[in-house]
Structure 1
Amino acid sequence: MTTWHAVLRGVAAASLALTSAAVATGDDAFVVEPADARTNYFAGREVECDTAIRGGIAVEGRLVWALAAGNRSLTNGAVPVRHAGRGATNVAVSVPLPAGRDGVVADATLTTVLTDAAGNRLGAATRNVRIFPADPFFDRSRWLESLRIAIIDPEGGTEKRLTAAGVPLMLTRADADIAALRPQLILVAEGLAWDDHPRLAADLFHHCGRGVNVLCMAPSSGTFPLPGGDAIGDGIVASLTLRRADVVADLDERLDWRDWAKGGATVVSRLSIVADREAVVARAGATPAGWPWLEATFGGREGGPPAGTLVVCGLGIVAHWEETPAARYLLAALLARLAAPSAAASPDFRPFQENPR
């Protein structure tokens, strides 16, 4: 059996979970493992799935890799490796992914095997590779139209990005009469500074109390009053939730939430809960501490309309739009989460894309 056939046999038997293997014993053991936690990639692109080699002795050899879906090989290759031993060596592995089909997310496994110059196997690792089409809204245009999304975006960057993705938006100003647009969902653009719009928080709470849902995308700075149990506008805050970035898995379990890109953090804005005189406020900023997710559910007054939900999401959806499908599909999941019941009943509403296994 050739070395290559051995690799393919290893692919067929590999677990779909991220794993690593060490070969040899004691101080000479090699550890081969994925260099990051990424599993989400765009279909039809050549992507970097770097592998880390740790420990062991100095070696010159190859890192042989194979991408497979089940028992079917999709592509394979090898890259030269020079590992100095003891420390860590990061090996760049470029993998061309198949184009796939619109609306279909496919699962594959990447297996990497470290061999020495004689072809002896020194270590191996596997990585999930989940292949996403570029368009998270394929065949969902009528559903998007039904959401009636108004966007507050003074700089225009978020509006431009989402419009190019086919999301219909009603552009409005922070101080405008948003209610006149009759939106079902209000988006506040990524990177907006709350301090530049001192009345915005109160206005958004007012809209939530009247049944409109609100998504604030990664505010850059500023503070806003923390919604509490008292009456706010036309509603009362029924629940308030703060979460870490793993909330992404609750919205769509297929999506990465640890690593989105080689450069730049997945979370670009966090909320710190602090006291400001006699009030409790949420302070936004690009800090290492704090909460990247706040969700406030409003309960309507007795006899009034059903109330809405306010979500502040600190993950960089627009910032990482071109780097990972997780950003795009997280937005799709958020819109589905905040969709009005009538929109969710739309004939072309699908909260998650098909994911054949």
Structure 2
Amino acid sequence: MMKRLGMIGLLLWSVAGLARADEAAQIRLRDPSASVFGGRPAVWRLDVDGPAAFEGTVAWNLAVSGGVIARREARVAVRPGESAPVDIEVDLPDVREGIIAEGRLQMALRDERGEVLAELEHPLFVFGANPAAFRLEWLRGLEMSVYDPEGRTAERLEELGWPFRRIPNLSALETLGTHVLLVGEGISLRSARGLMGSMVRAAERGGRVVMLAPADGSFPPPGSGDDAVSPESLQFHDKAYVQRLDKRLDTPPLRSVFRLGGQRTGPVVSVESAGGWAFMEARWPGGGALLLCGCGLLETWEASPTPRFLLMRMLRQATLEKEKEP
């Protein structure tokens, strides 16, 4: 009798252990990025975890615009305390220029009996290569000037065929008027001492100014000083501002942040590597705007559509241009 009770107890312990293993098994995406280029290969890397050793399969399917474009299975062997890697590789279809297609990656972890231990669903968006498709006339109307001493930002815009003129020095900002100025990524405000003052004065006169990830430096907040024109709004935003501009975009890595503090001479905004805001946005009554972005766009320009589409969204935000989403 005691032997039978012992066997029953062992069986119940084993079943409970399996149930706990089933409940705790999980699939995780190493990089939950949702923005991908159409017409290119895409790779999603998974980690499969479980408290008990087992072998099974990860079955997945990828749908774009409502139709399944790929469906496969991958064998997986899980060991306690270790993540088993699984790679999902797909050649994504082209999307028409100006169209952003919705997609969905569905994954299921099954044991040898075919029972589902864990599931994961990942929404995604498939972008074309050029966010200015069908918008070149709008870009021409901006009469955009680019100040980019290093030339790396301007080079990317030239590759996309965006219309703009490069300005070699800050004196050209005096005649910006209500047009757009884009300041290239990585400029040191510590070295280019007159740059921020010139940008603010251009915005005070009605110019729309976008600056990408300055390297370092500090400056008084817009509106400081006896002769300054106070902005009607001055806001600092965290990195979630990217999704407020467009919920389909990922957040690029932060290259710099903006920290509001004070010195004996008054308030100051400093450019830091961490511990601050990802964006600063100031607006003036005459339509002028100054938008500072701390995201590093050039680092992932080719790996993700987010940098170029975020740049387009920031230009639209600076000019308050609204239209139906593509």
What range is the shorter-chain TM-score in? 0.7 to 0.9
| Alpha-carbon distance, 1:47 to partner | 1.0
Q: Which residue of 1 aligns with 2:310?
A: 330
Q: Distance in 1 between matches of 2:323 and 2:309?
A: 10
Q: Distance in 1 between matches of 2:142 and 2:211?
A: 16
State whether structure 2 residue 276 is matched by structure 1 residue 290: yes
Displacement over 6 Å in runs of 4+: none
Q: Distance in 2 between matches of 1:331 and 1:161?
A: 11
Q: Which residue of 2 aligns with 1:39?
A: 34
Provide TM-score, normalisation by structure 1. 0.80
| Alpha-carbon distance, 1:230 to partner | 5.7
Question: What fraction of aligned residue pairs are identical, expressed as a percent?
Answer: 28
8 Å contact kept, 1:105–1:353: no
Q: Which residue of 2 aligns with 1:113?
A: 108
| Alpha-carbon distance, 1:143 to partner | 0.7
Structure 2 unaligned segments of length 5 or more: list them. Answer: 1-17
Structure 1 unaligned segments of length 5 or more: list them. Answer: 1-23, 261-265, 300-305, 345-349
| Alpha-carbon distance, 1:61 to partner | 2.8
Write the deviation string for residues 257-291 of structure 1: whole angstroms up to 9, x where unpaired: 2xx4xxxxx21111122323313221113x23111
Counterpart among 250, 255, 267 of residue 268 in structure 1: 255
Matched residue SS, 1:50: strand
Q: Distance in 2 between matches of 1:253 and 1:137?
A: 18
Stretch moving more, 272-281 or 316-325 = 272-281
8 Å contact kept, 2:298–2:307: yes
Q: Distance in 1 between matches of 2:275 and 2:124?
A: 30
Q: Which residue of 1 aligns with 2:288?
A: 308
Write the deviation string for residues 193-236 of structure 1: whole angstroms up to 9, x where unpaired: 10111111111111111100111101111112122466654x32
| Alpha-carbon distance, 1:34 to partner | 2.8
Q: Which residue of 1 aligns with 2:80?
A: 85
Matched residue SS, 1:76: strand
Q: Match of 2:53, as an amino acid?
A: A
| Alpha-carbon distance, 1:82 to partner | 2.4
Stretch moving more, 130-139 or 32-41 = 32-41
Which structure is higher in RCO with an 8 Å CA cutoff and minimum separation 6?
A: 1
Q: Distance in 2 between matches of 1:329 and 1:148?
A: 19
Task: Number of aligned residue pairs: give it.
Answer: 308
State whether structure 2 residue 267 is matched by structure 1 residue 280: yes
8 Å contact kept, 1:67–1:110: yes
Q: Distance in 2 between matches of 1:85 and 1:353?
A: 47
Q: Which residue of 2 aligns with 1:347?
A: none
Q: Which residue of 1 aligns with 2:231?
A: 237
Write the deviation string for residues 283-328 of structure 1: whole angstroms up to 9, x where unpaired: 113x2311111011123xxxxxx24011111112222211211211
| Alpha-carbon distance, 1:175 to partner | 3.0
- Distance verdict in 2 for CA 1:338–1:320, change over 3 Å: same
Q: Which residue of 2 aligns with 1:170?
A: 165
Q: Match of 2:80, as an amino acid?
A: G
8 Å contact kept, 1:35–1:90: no
8 Å contact kept, 1:270–1:289: yes
State whether structure 2 residue 241 is matched by structure 1 residue 253: no
Q: Which residue of 2 aligns with 1:57?
A: 52
8 Å contact kept, 1:271–1:284: yes
Counterparts of 1:86-101 in structure 2 under 5 Å? 86-101=81-96
State whether structure 2 residue 139 is matched by structure 1 residue 144: yes
- Distance verdict in 2 for CA 1:293–1:248, change over 3 Å: same
Stretch moving more, 288-297 or 80-89 = 80-89
- Distance verdict in 2 for CA 1:242–1:182, change over 3 Å: closer
8 Å contact kept, 1:268–1:314: yes
Q: Which residue of 2 aligns with 1:102?
A: 97
Q: Distance in 2 between matches of 1:330 and 1:351?
A: 16
Q: Match of 1:283, as an amino acid?
A: S
Q: Which has the higher helix share?
A: 2
- Distance verdict in 2 for CA 1:334–1:151, change over 3 Å: same
Matched residue SS, 2:300: coil
Q: Distance in 1 between matches of 2:164 and 2:178?
A: 10
From the CA coordinates, give the structure whose radius of gyration is larger.
2
Q: Distance in 2 between matches of 1:96 and 1:56?
A: 34
Provide TM-score, normalisation by structure 2. 0.87
Q: Distance in 1 between matches of 2:318 and 2:105?
A: 35
